[in-house]
Amino acid sequence: MFEGQDILEFTDRFRDDLSCLSYLADIKWSEGYSCQKCGHEKHTIRKKNLARDCNRCHYIESPTANTLFHRVRFGIRKAFTIVFEMSATTKGISSQQIANRFSISPTTAWTFMHKVRNAMKSSETQLMEGEVHVDEFVYGGKERLKQGRSFDSKKKKIVVAVELNDNGKVKRTYFKKIEDYSAKSLVGIFEAHISKDADVLTDKWSGYKPISNEYNITQELSDFGSSMKQLHTIIHQVKSWMRSVYSWVHKEHIESYLAEFSFRINRSIYKQSIFHKLIERMVKAKPYSYQMIIVST
């Protein structure tokens, strides 16, 4: 397992395609090999690319097959380095920057980065517990320093939740795109990320009322954000991050960018293993093509 964020250690460890393929193979077959076609377990490893050649039916499976590294045309080493960059930097990188630094086309960079973001998406299995604050914000268009909800249809509406630790610091955060501020829309983030035992704080918005039948919600009069300071700091950070790195975030893709932001915040206490975790998720994820990125949105 590769640990840490040191770029020189990284380039030493992943000095050629074979060392990257070997890393993928170790993760992919960590529980042993069994042929995709016939289930046979005996195999021969091809020296050239570490593909497994089934001894019975001779079906050949490469370490990248059926992973998010499938058919990466610019080489596995560049792909690994892009994942490392995306996992290590707290600021995020635009696909144009990646295109320039890795000599690939902006579309290729954009597509691959979306695959990485797809792997960054929450598995929605670890619900937030304890003190959780929930609010919404809008992104895009002109900002107004006015309290209340924006009903401008051009703006992207997002609901956000933060889980606080015992010291009142942000432990984890999740976002969800919403179409409107109805209870039906707002409940999505609760179902995906919040435990029914959590102590949830929201403002007085009526949309949260029906949800309090199932969740433990306290509604407080919002005082220009001072009652939910940590949450408003997160909103401020995510907005300025998206504004600086991704000059234009398409409405359809906003959740992917928010997943990237959450992934880094939520894993910031496990910085040592962040790269490994991401590679692991990319190996276990199903292939995700350019067409699928366009269509699924």
CB 38, min distance to Zn ion, A = 3
CB of 35 or CB of 231, closer to Zn ion: 35
How distant is the alpha carbon of residue 247 from its chain centre? 19
CB 56, min distance to Zn ion, A = 5
Quote the CA–CA distance of 11 and 16 in Å, as a whole number. Answer: 9
Quote the CA–CA distance of 282 and 189 in Å, as a whole number. Answer: 24
CB 33, min distance to Zn ion, A = 10
CB of 38 or CB of 294, closer to Zn ion: 38
CB 63, min distance to Zn ion, A = 17
Quote the CA–CA distance of 260 and 286 in Å, as a whole number. Answer: 18
CB 110, min distance to Zn ion, A = 37
60 and 52 Cβ atoms separated by less than 8 Å: yes
Quote the CA–CA distance of 82 and 108 in Å, as a whole number. Answer: 12
CB of 7 or CB of 57, closer to Zn ion: 57
CB of 15 or CB of 37, closer to Zn ion: 37
Residues within the interface to Zn ion (CB under 5 A): 35, 37-38, 40, 54, 56-57, 59
CB 54, min distance to Zn ion, A = 3
In the chain, the amino acid numbered 34 is S
- Helix pair angle (106-120, 76-88), 10° resolution: 60
CB 164, min distance to Zn ion, A = 51
CB of 53 or CB of 131, closer to Zn ion: 53
How distant is the alpha carbon of residue 281 from its chain centre? 10
CB 15, min distance to Zn ion, A = 32
Three-state SS sequence of 153-199: CCCEEEEEEEEECCCCCEEEEEEEEECCCCHHHHHHHHHHHECCCCE
